[in-house]
Amino acid sequence: MVNRIHPTAVLGPGVELGDGNVVGPYAVLAGPLVIGDGNWIGPHVTIGTPAEDRTGPHPVSWEDEPVGAGVRIGSGNRIREYVSVHQGTRRSTRLGDNGYYLRGSHVAHDCEIGDHVTLASNVVLGGHTAIWSRANLGMGAIVHQHVRIGPGAMVGMGSAVRREVGAFTVAVGNPARVTGLNVVGLTRLGLDERQIAALEPWLKGAGPIPPDGLLDRLPGGVSTLVQAWNDRKD
């Protein structure tokens, strides 16, 4: 399927597009940048612009050869108007598949974002943050550099996140504090009350990970996310 690129959009050197992408008016895409298939990139989006990092050089003109670690974006994302994504410094800034990036949200350099993630309007991610799959960040939330947001976690609107938010938990406030489990998110993934109750001690950091027999029966890819989060390294 052909890409549809508005005539006012600007694509610099080193930009690679898959198939079926839509690039809206006045969007600016700078390389090195690799984009998958079926993404919708709205008006005035900027992707691949230089990192806000004083430790490295900053380009002096648009015509310079692409530098930095660039950006890699998966497939099926909806990247709305005025979203900005900076290129990486030590590694590529990465966005997974089927994400929903609402108006004015910002992804800083070296961030890594999983699949099915939602960044609501005006969310700001500091450099080197990791947002795991199916996390949902509310309007105006701010995440400090090098912080991890666990899979299926929900961050309330206007929250300031300074430390790790666990898998399938809810965090709100300034500074953000965990207030409970994301029961709505787990239910939408197909878990019943018994399965949520079995996971609850581990999700709250008060018990071991459930046995394989229970994990294997969890729907919606939850078992894979739970195991990966349990095996993560600091």
Task: List, by residue number, the catalytic residues.
Answer: 109-110, 127
CB 69 within 8 A of CB 110: yes
Cα(75)–Cα(96) distance, integer angstroms: 7
CB 38 within 8 A of CB 21: yes
Cα(130)–Cα(112) distance, integer angstroms: 5
Helix-strand-coil percent breakdown of the chain, rounded to 5? 15, 30, 60
CA-CA-CA-CA dihedral for 164, 165, 171, 176, to nearest 10: 0
Of 151, 129, 122, nearest to 226 by C-alpha is 151
* Ramachandran angles phi, psi of 154, nearest 5°: -125, 130
